[in-house]
A and B are shown apart, each in its own frame.
Chain A
Amino acid sequence: MTQGTLIIGYGTRAGDLTAILDTQAARLRARGRRNVRIAYFRVSEPSIPEALSAMAAEGIDDVLAVPYYIAEGTITREFIPGKLGISGSAGVADVDGRPVRIAIAPAFNRTRVLTGIVFDRIAGAGGTFDDGILLIGHGTRDPASENTRVVAMNAERVRRAGYRRVAHAFNEFNQPSIRAAMRGLAESGAERIIVVPLFIANGVHLGEEVPEQLGIPPYSEGGTVDVGLYEKELEQHHHSRAADLAATVPVWDATALDALTEAVRSVSDWAAEHSCSPVGGIEAVVSRGDDALAISVDGPGSDIVVTGSLPYGGRAEAVVTIPNGSHELAHRMYHAMDRDGFVIHQSHEDLHHHHHEDPVRTGRTVDIVYTRPVGADPRLLELIDSEIAEFGGERRPDHPSNHIARNEPFRSQVHKGEQ
């Protein structure tokens, strides 16, 4: 049997996940681990089925799949096995007619390695035992997810090390909210709060959503914030309502059509993965004069349907309706369209119905130090290296000079992001 390792990341549009996984995979290859590949659950390429097909085509028939995830959950227990073509954590998949044995390693979960990284982030920020420490998790609606437990457990470990003001919070879905946790820390007398995101990589969550809730600039490393900000919750994640987005399409062409279709698809997929029910359809209507084209999807998992026609060229107006959708979906759609060059008529603020206009000013401030996510740390890679060793993966056992023509460069992977 020929062994291989498939590292599986969630996928990202704008973050540094792919650079992180490329680096970690190159480090494994340097250790002599053979056939190390990367795949993504969504958005980024290659997809899990694409990567598996390519591995099978190369004759790899014994695969250790390593979900590069903070915590176990429905994604690691069901969706990833589903995309790999097995059920449970081990099995034999039929890949293009070839049987491929697959075993799925656990997510990082409760490992002390994550805690070690958290401690080092705090130390790197010059933390003292009097500083507030806020661990932030992704949050989940998935009852099977370990995310909330992993984050809470790490907070407990930090507390036991001697920190007097430790809290944890979730970006979405779960309590405590970031603002509630910040409020509690400020009330406990913390003047300086070190925020450690238990996330793999940078992206929209860490770059925009978390800073917004903390009250620091997007993509920043911290700031000074009046604690009055934390007295009101952000509404964005807590109300469901119909949402319409109106936007101008500067040039209606095939690229714009693809981008809008992809935006509808990604929001619909996201709704399916996050069980955002009740969810109706999503419809995007693009028009110019009497011509109109509609891109619609009935519900999560349904096919995208395009009806009507609109000749390419010139400006067009788009209206996206999410009839029974949650505000979260509108928010997702906003960011999806924003990235693709559509000029959205609502402001981000409109969408959120923020109370930014009159935050309570107390005159008391906290200094926030916002640290990096954990995914790039070499200790995570040592964990995977041990998983591969346990899986039975041998390092190249034979001295390379015994073979005349073997060439397996891995440099291309390392610097892919920089070229």
Chain B
Amino acid sequence: MSKATLIIGYGTRSGNLEEILETQADRLRARGRGDVRIAYYRISSPSIEDALRQMAADGVDEVLAMPYYIAEGTLTHELIPQKIGIIGNDGMAEVDGRRIHVRIAPAFGRSRALTGIVFDRVADAGATFDDGVLLVGHGTRDPTSENTRVISMNAERLSKAGFRHVAHAFNDYNEPTVRSAMRILTENGVGRVVVVPMFIADGIHLGHDITAQLGIPAHSAGGTVDVSLYNLKYVPAPGIDDESYVHDDRGCGNGNLRQITGNVQGWSEYSGPRLENAVEIVANWAAKRYGGLDGEIAAVVTVGGEQLRIVADSGGVRREGGIAANGAGRIVFGSTLRTFDGELAHKMYHALENASIGCIIDQDLAAIHQDSKDHKVEIVLTRPVGADPRLVEIMDARIAEFDGE
């Protein structure tokens, strides 16, 4: 019996995946993990088939295959087993007339090691809890892929640790897009965003696609970007797998409307907590911006003769009255802060718009939008996660288990 480990990467034309896997394989070999080899799903060599043939020729008859992937999906569940010649994650492959027992380890997935790396990227970028943090995933069309769940779960872990402005986005295929996530972060008043790509290695996605969506130079580690960039909405032209961008026609002028009004379409039991959350977001933001609240921020909703008032001031957020009925009504969202300015009006507008209470705002955003020409955001794009030694420790533990240690 001769055992070997096969690390399987996706493959790359121009990135540093191969270098990363060589380094990680060397680290495993340094631990005395004997026969450690590398193969690629596509493009890079050796291919999985070639690596298996070589192992068969070398007399290897037991293989632990480890997909070096962020998340499980059809690739790891089906396509890699297919190339190996087994079904599922454990089976006998027939290679050039020899039988090789292959077991396939899971991708990194929900491992806390990935979260630890994300935390360190954020800390090493010098982030504070008030900075924005954007996790970017690959995205997928594969309904079985864990990619979106792994990304959003890591974003949730960041929020739980205390970061106030956490978002996640996908380079391709899934919502939210990088631009829309950046739009929301910057509309929340964030001046600095640390972007952590949950990718294994550098390549076209990180070097070109994501940097382009962020508005920073290709292959750069960040830059300063005018936030109006993120008002560009991504519209795929019908039937064409190409990208074209149209400008969202939000004019930006000066104006300080103290009060926003609107029609509420379908008030329900869920609307109250959502509106309360929106008021709280604005109040938190204002308290931070102005060093406290020197007045009130209040939302007043009237539906069928009942009224709900949600008021935030220096004492916190409180609800007065209540609405039992469902249906249409009116809302007034205003502020008595002495420190009121266009930025707060802007913030209130977007908070109400994003509150998911079906509100059609009477005012045009152009009427209250602060001139955004000088509204910039600083972006720090951190390195992908694949080279981290903690991922070696995960593989080392799996090999130990495989070896029966």
Which A residues have a C-beta under 8 Å from some C-beta of B?
23, 26-27, 29-32, 116-117, 119-120, 122-124, 126-127, 160-162, 377-379, 381-382, 385, 395-397, 399-405, 407-411, 414-415
25 contacts between A and B (CB under 8 A): A23-B124, A26-B124, A26-B126, A30-B127, A116-B31, A123-B26, A123-B27, A123-B30, A127-B30, A161-B30, A378-B117, A379-B389, A379-B390, A382-B116, A382-B390, A395-B162, A396-B162, A400-B159, A401-B277, A401-B284, A402-B280, A404-B280, A404-B287, A405-B287, A414-B123
A109 to chain B, nearest CB (A): 18
A381 touches B120 (CB 8 A): yes
How many angstroms between the C-alpha atoms of A403 and B283 in the bound complex? 10
* Residues 85-137 of B at the A interface (beta carbon under 8 Å): 116-117, 119-120, 122-124, 126-130
B161 touches A120 (CB 8 A): no
Q: Kindly list chain A residues whose C-beta atoms are within 8 Å of the C-beta of B287.
A: 404-405
Q: Kindly list chain B residues whose C-beta atoms are within 8 Å of the C-beta of A123.
A: 23, 26-27, 29-30
Q: Kindly list chain A residues whose C-beta atoms are within 8 Å of the C-beta of B314.
A: 404
In the complex, the chain B residue whose C-beta lies closest to that of A399 is: B159
B120 touches A30 (CB 8 A): yes
B30 touches A405 (CB 8 A): no
A338 to chain B, nearest CB (A): 34
Q: Kindly list chain A residues whose C-beta atoms are within 8 Å of the C-beta of B23.
A: 123-124
Label chain B's interface by main secondary structure: helix
Label chain A's interface by main secondary structure: helix
A sample of 8 more A-B contacts (CB under 8 A), given A381-B120, A404-B316, A414-B123, is A27-B124, A116-B31, A116-B396, A400-B159, A404-B314, A405-B292, A410-B129, A414-B126
Asked if B373 is at the interface (CB within 8 A of a chain A CB), the reply is no
Give the A-B contact count at a CB cut-off of 8 A.
115
A32 touches B393 (CB 8 A): no
* Residues 153-185 of B at the A interface (beta carbon under 8 Å): 159-164
Q: Which of these, A26, A124, A377, A379, contacts B123 with CB under 8 Å? A: A26
Asked if B32 is at the interface (CB within 8 A of a chain A CB), the reply is yes
1/0 per residue B207-241: CB within 8 Å of A? 00000000000000000000000000000000000
B389 touches A409 (CB 8 A): no
How many angstroms between the C-alpha atoms of A28 and B124 in the bound complex? 11
Q: Kindly list chain B residues whose C-beta atoms are within 8 Å of the C-beta of A379.
A: 389-390, 393
Known contacts A407-B130, A409-B129, A396 near B161 by CB under 8 Å: yes
Asked if B190 is at the interface (CB within 8 A of a chain A CB), the reply is no
A400 touches B30 (CB 8 A): no
B119 touches A400 (CB 8 A): no
A400 touches B123 (CB 8 A): no
B280 touches A31 (CB 8 A): no
Asked if B281 is at the interface (CB within 8 A of a chain A CB), the reply is yes
Asked if B83 is at the interface (CB within 8 A of a chain A CB), the reply is no
A161 touches B389 (CB 8 A): no
B115 to chain A, nearest CB (A): 9
How many angstroms between the C-alpha atoms of A405 and B280 in the bound complex? 11
Q: Kindly list chain A residues whose C-beta atoms are within 8 Å of the C-beta of B31.
A: 116, 119, 161
How many angstroms between the C-alpha atoms of A396 and B162 in the bound complex? 6
Q: Which of these, B120, B122, B129, B281, contacts A378 with CB under 8 Å? A: B120
B30 touches A378 (CB 8 A): no
B164 touches A30 (CB 8 A): no
How many angstroms between the C-alpha atoms of A405 and B160 in the bound complex? 17
Q: Which of these, B119, B283, B292, contacts A30 with CB under 8 Å? A: B119
A116 touches B162 (CB 8 A): no
A375 to chain B, nearest CB (A): 14
Q: Kindly list chain A residues whose C-beta atoms are within 8 Å of the C-beta of B293.
A: 404
B283 touches A395 (CB 8 A): no
Q: Kindly list chain A residues whose C-beta atoms are within 8 Å of the C-beta of B375.
A: none
How many angstroms between the C-alpha atoms of A78 and B396 in the bound complex? 37
A374 to chain B, nearest CB (A): 11
A27 touches B120 (CB 8 A): yes
Asked if B247 is at the interface (CB within 8 A of a chain A CB), the reply is no
B159 to chain A, nearest CB (A): 7
Asked if B78 is at the interface (CB within 8 A of a chain A CB), the reply is no
Q: Kindly list chain B residues whose C-beta atoms are within 8 Å of the C-beta of A160.
A: 32
The interface centre, meaning the residue of A23, A379, A382, A400 with most chain B CB atoms within 10 A of its CB, is: A400
A414 touches B124 (CB 8 A): yes
How many angstroms between the C-alpha atoms of A127 and B316 in the bound complex? 61
Asked if B388 is at the interface (CB within 8 A of a chain A CB), the reply is yes
1/0 per residue B287-322: CB within 8 Å of A? 110001100000000000000000010101000000
B164 touches A400 (CB 8 A): yes
Q: Kindly list chain A residues whose C-beta atoms are within 8 Å of the C-beta of B392.
A: 116, 120
Q: Kindly list chain B residues whose C-beta atoms are within 8 Å of the C-beta of A29.
A: 123
A355 to chain B, nearest CB (A): 36
A401 touches B120 (CB 8 A): no
A378 touches B388 (CB 8 A): yes
B221 to chain A, nearest CB (A): 15
How many angstroms between the C-alpha atoms of A119 and B29 in the bound complex? 9
How many angstroms between the C-alpha atoms of A119 and B389 in the bound complex? 10
1/0 per residue B1-40: CB within 8 Å of A? 0000000000000000000000100110111100000000
B383 to chain A, nearest CB (A): 13
B70 to chain A, nearest CB (A): 18
Q: Which of these, B160, B312, B393, contacts A396 with CB under 8 Å? A: B160
In the complex, the chain A residue whose C-beta lies closest to that of B27 is: A123
In the complex, the chain B residue whose C-beta lies closest to that of A32 is: B161
